[in-house]
Chains A and B, each alone.
Chain A
């Protein structure tokens, strides 16, 4: 307890000492920012200490700890686990860069929870397995499927992490004033260290604290900016609507309100030329189409209901009804941030309209908006720390999930069944380090925007894991052969999409390059991949040996009775 008091006093002293340089953040990037750096360190140290104070004694306690928390607490854990750099940074960036098309990410990443609730949550809890490969291996009575799903759990975690590392790199670049390469390397090292120290300790308590930090740091600047720029600030999630209309119609300069010009941090007027492309659907100038909106939205929704680290949350709630209500609370907490993200892109659009502001990194627009909006530098620093916290909490969960799939589902089950717990732990740690290094290498390639990179993971999950869960729960006729066929179809679509994407990136061209790059784009190939995997599963299941009696009986009596 004394340690906690000393630590809190330390943070307070830091904040007081920082107030002197609170107004020095007029440079968007390129300089070392002392205040935000210390806030970031304080935040990370808090997470590690919370992990130590609320340490789980063993893996069983780690899982059981989840079974002691309330529905609201579980909802916070779901929200924290869910919200990553893609939610906090990427979504606003997509709307800033692609207008209405960016809203497909907002809808896709929330609408999927409805599917998750009505089709999965309670049934997964009733089935009673702890991990996605566990469920798939057991339901389809297949060691092979367990191995393949474990490999895909690792690949999905990998793809998800790439976007997160990119976001961490951008924020470290902003705070430390380094170039992107060094920022990613340093950020990745810190997140790896953080994961190795706190990966399995006090996770649930940490998730609740992380959620509070993310939501407070994300909401406060928007209240300030809505107030400052004369919009309805009491509920800025509604108040920014007038700003959207202002962007469509244009705001002439100088804009005078109560005798004073509204200015951004550089002293430019709060003005913008009429820009309907920001709000109008699938505007031609953004290079996006109606099909892409629908395909992205669908892929993200279905992917949400197939992500292993999301599905896993429902195994650890006390009761079946808690699994259902934790989705509601989780979704509500997620929506608090998702209602706010478009407001950042809206204010960001106006505040960066003056050409003297220069080109801004789309993925860092949330932080730049707060900075251009003249929000106090400590609050901007907290916002950046919140974004990094979101990425850290998700990365820690993903690296642990990937490493567990490797050590638990592949190493123990396939490579070395007689391994000791100590050697399993060593393998998990080595797996975590290897994965972090590989993710760093890919993140340095800057393959796309954060939200786009993360959406690859969603499409992969939608094509592989989702059909197995959906049919495994809702159709007793889905059998091992059908599952293998469905998985093969999903993997085929995934491979085609990724191959064409990589070839396109390297400047090459394959037959039908343009056609595949549009219709099977790597950001949204699940629009066709997921339905194909389901159809293949159904057809092959109908043509082959039926599901064994004990599986049907278990499903009928335990899951659907």
Chain B
């Protein structure tokens, strides 16, 4: 009579030699797979260190003068350039964007003569109006409005150039005029003054290490490893597994 135990098996207790060899292949594959995927990420996590971008270092140097309320022209340019840098990253959260817009407007308007302020705010108002029309415009009308916005933007960039130091055509100049508010604050609120360094630190500090600094085929190495190499490894592991299994089946004369 057949007993229940006779047919007991698990992946840890195979029933025969073939099963044991199969188990060893499976476990080897799983170990390679786990180490390659998660081992590497753990390594990346262990050796990483928070590293500041140059802009953060420059910002922190110039920031004390802003806190005192007495910003020298050079410091103003530094603060402007570093905040523009952060504003140019398109992952900035809306609340942080608003804070940066206020700070950029505050510094920029503080540096330009009153005579051209009216001209600037008028151009900005026109541009905002055109942008709101853009949402519903279609086809040729859309292109015409785009062209008008572009024209006004160029005018604004030229007006700001002597005070911002951003040349027409530069990305920074475009970011600047897209950040300016017509109803800018004369002085930043205390809450904003507290939050701004935190926001700057958040966007300008990154987890870096030797693995992220090293370049491979143009990629940062860790990016290549995860986005390209791991996928190659998965396909290779699958091929090796199949070849091994079929070789053993043939060798042992087993027909599935």
Is B66 an interface position by the 8 A CB rule? no
Whether A552 lies near B171 (C-beta < 8 A) is: no
Whether A356 lies near B178 (C-beta < 8 A) is: yes
Smallest distance from the beta carbon of B216 to chain A beta carbons, Å? Answer: 8
- B57: chain A residues at CB < 8 Å are none
User: Which of B138, B153, B241 is in CB contact (< 8 Å) with A30?
Assistant: B138
Q: Which of B71-79, B118-126, B226-234 contacts A (4 or more CB under 8 A)?
A: B226-234
Is A280 an interface position by the 8 A CB rule? yes
Given A110-B231, A476-B7, A477-B8, also A117-B238 (CB < 8 A): yes
Q: Given the complex of chains A and B, what is the CA–CA distance between A271 and B172 in angstroms?
A: 10
Is B115 an interface position by the 8 A CB rule? no
Smallest distance from the beta carbon of A333 to chain B beta carbons, Å? Answer: 10
Closest residue of chain A to B242 (Cβ to Cβ) is A324
Whether A103 lies near B89 (C-beta < 8 A) is: no
Whether B256 lies near A321 (C-beta < 8 A) is: yes
- B241: chain A residues at CB < 8 Å are 117-118, 324
Given A285-B202, A549-B7, also A353-B171 (CB < 8 A): yes
Q: Given the complex of chains A and B, what is the CA–CA distance between A558 and B153 in angstroms?
A: 74
Whether A238 lies near B8 (C-beta < 8 A) is: no
Smallest distance from the beta carbon of B249 to chain A beta carbons, Å? Answer: 8
Is B161 an interface position by the 8 A CB rule? no
Proximity string of chain A (224-248) to chain B, C-beta cutoff 8 Å, 1 when within and 0 when not: 0000000010000111011111001
- B99: chain A residues at CB < 8 Å are none
Whether A282 lies near B234 (C-beta < 8 A) is: no
Whether A114 lies near B237 (C-beta < 8 A) is: yes
Q: Which of A209-217, A286-294, A505-513, A518-526 contacts B (4 or more CB under 8 A)?
A: A286-294
Smallest distance from the beta carbon of B189 to chain A beta carbons, Å? Answer: 23
Is A376 an interface position by the 8 A CB rule? no
- B136: chain A residues at CB < 8 Å are 30
Enumerate B160-178 residues with CB–CB distance to A below 8 Å.
169-172, 174-175, 178
Smallest distance from the beta carbon of B57 to chain A beta carbons, Å? Answer: 13
- B220: chain A residues at CB < 8 Å are 244-245, 248, 279
Proximity string of chain B (128-145) to chain A, C-beta cutoff 8 Å, 1 when within and 0 when not: 000000011111001100
Q: Given the complex of chains A and B, what is the CA–CA distance between A282 and B178 in angstroms?
A: 29
Whether A253 lies near B90 (C-beta < 8 A) is: no
Whether A276 lies near B208 (C-beta < 8 A) is: yes
- B143: chain A residues at CB < 8 Å are 26-27
Q: Given the complex of chains A and B, what is the CA–CA distance between A324 and B237 in angstroms?
A: 12
Chain A residue total in the interface (Cβ 8 A):
93
Please classify how large the interface on chain B is, using the bins under 10, 10 to 19, 20 to 34, 35 or more.
35 or more
Closest residue of chain B to A243 (Cβ to Cβ) is B218
Q: Given the complex of chains A and B, what is the CA–CA distance between A276 and B209 in angstroms?
A: 13
Q: Given the complex of chains A and B, what is the CA–CA distance between A331 and B172 in angstroms?
A: 43
Q: Which of A80-88, A182-190, A334-342, A413-421 contacts B (4 or more CB under 8 A)?
A: A334-342
Whether A119 lies near B8 (C-beta < 8 A) is: no
- A290: chain B residues at CB < 8 Å are 41, 45
Proximity string of chain A (375-386) to chain B, C-beta cutoff 8 Å, 1 when within and 0 when not: 000000000000
- A113: chain B residues at CB < 8 Å are 234, 238
Q: Given the complex of chains A and B, what is the CA–CA distance between A478 and B170 in angstroms?
A: 66
- A242: chain B residues at CB < 8 Å are 218-219
Is B215 an interface position by the 8 A CB rule? yes
- B29: chain A residues at CB < 8 Å are 114, 118
Closest residue of chain A to B88 (Cβ to Cβ) is A273
Whether A549 lies near B4 (C-beta < 8 A) is: yes
Is A332 an interface position by the 8 A CB rule? yes
Is B194 an interface position by the 8 A CB rule? no
Is A53 an interface position by the 8 A CB rule? no
Smallest distance from the beta carbon of B179 to chain A beta carbons, Å? Answer: 8
- A359: chain B residues at CB < 8 Å are 90
Whether A328 lies near B242 (C-beta < 8 A) is: yes
Enumerate B14-38 residues with CB–CB distance to A below 8 Å.
14-15, 19, 25-26, 29-30, 33, 37-38
Is B116 an interface position by the 8 A CB rule? no
Enumerate A82-104 residues with CB–CB distance to B below 8 Å.
97, 99-100, 103
Whether B256 lies near A475 (C-beta < 8 A) is: no
Whether A97 lies near B91 (C-beta < 8 A) is: yes
Is A540 an interface position by the 8 A CB rule? no
- A110: chain B residues at CB < 8 Å are 230-231, 234
Given A241-B224, A253-B170, A276-B206, also A335-B41 (CB < 8 A): no
User: Which of B2, B142, B224, B242 is in CB contact (< 8 Å) with A553?
Assistant: B2
Whether A245 lies near B89 (C-beta < 8 A) is: no
Whether B178 lies near A355 (C-beta < 8 A) is: yes
Is B95 an interface position by the 8 A CB rule? no
Is B246 an interface position by the 8 A CB rule? yes
From DSSP, what is the main secondary structure of chain A's interface residues?
helix
- A293: chain B residues at CB < 8 Å are 41
- B112: chain A residues at CB < 8 Å are none
Whether A276 lies near B222 (C-beta < 8 A) is: no
Whether B88 lies near A342 (C-beta < 8 A) is: no
Is A138 an interface position by the 8 A CB rule? no
Whether A552 lies near B234 (C-beta < 8 A) is: no
Is B67 an interface position by the 8 A CB rule? no
Q: Given the complex of chains A and B, what is the CA–CA distance between A266 and B33 in angstroms?
A: 45
Smallest distance from the beta carbon of B39 to chain A beta carbons, Å? Answer: 11
Whether A27 lies near B142 (C-beta < 8 A) is: yes
Q: Which of A282, A286, A355 has the most CB of B within 10 A?
A: A355
Closest residue of chain A to B170 (Cβ to Cβ) is A253
Whether A284 lies near B89 (C-beta < 8 A) is: no
Is A107 an interface position by the 8 A CB rule? yes
- B228: chain A residues at CB < 8 Å are 237-238, 241, 339
Given A118-B29, A284-B202, also A103-B178 (CB < 8 A): no
Q: Given the complex of chains A and B, what is the CA–CA distance between A269 and B170 in angstroms?
A: 8
Whether B230 lies near A107 (C-beta < 8 A) is: yes
Q: Which of B88, B139, B150, B206 has the most CB of A within 10 A?
A: B206
User: Which of A114, A276, A320 is in CB contact (< 8 Å) with B33?
Assistant: A114
Given A241-B219, A476-B10, also A560-B138 (CB < 8 A): no
Q: Given the complex of chains A and B, what is the CA–CA distance between A401 and B3 in angstroms?
A: 39
- B170: chain A residues at CB < 8 Å are 252-253
User: Which of A111, A237, A338, A555 is in CB contact (< 8 Å) with B9?
Assistant: A555
- B218: chain A residues at CB < 8 Å are 232, 238-239, 241-245
Whether B150 lies near A356 (C-beta < 8 A) is: yes
Could you write out 11 A-B pairs with CB less than 8 Å apart?
Answer: A103-B226, A111-B234, A253-B169, A273-B88, A276-B208, A282-B45, A285-B91, A331-B238, A342-B227, A475-B9, A552-B8
Binding site for B on A (CB under 8 A): 24, 26-27, 30-31, 97, 99-100, 103, 106-107, 110-111, 113-115, 117-119, 122, 126, 177, 232, 237-239, 241-245, 248, 252-254, 266-269, 271-277, 279-286, 290, 293-294, 297-298, 301, 319-321, 324-325, 327-328, 331-332, 335, 338-339, 342, 349, 352-356, 359, 474-477, 546-547, 549, 552-553, 555-557, 560
Binding site for A on B (CB under 8 A): 2, 4, 7-11, 14-15, 19, 25-26, 29-30, 33, 37-38, 41, 44-45, 48, 53, 55, 84-85, 88-92, 135-139, 142-143, 146, 149-150, 153, 169-172, 174-175, 178-179, 202-203, 205-208, 212, 215-220, 222-224, 226-228, 230-232, 234-235, 237-239, 241-242, 245-246, 256
Which A-B residue pairs are the 3 nearest by beta carbons?
Answer: A241-B219, A242-B218, A273-B88
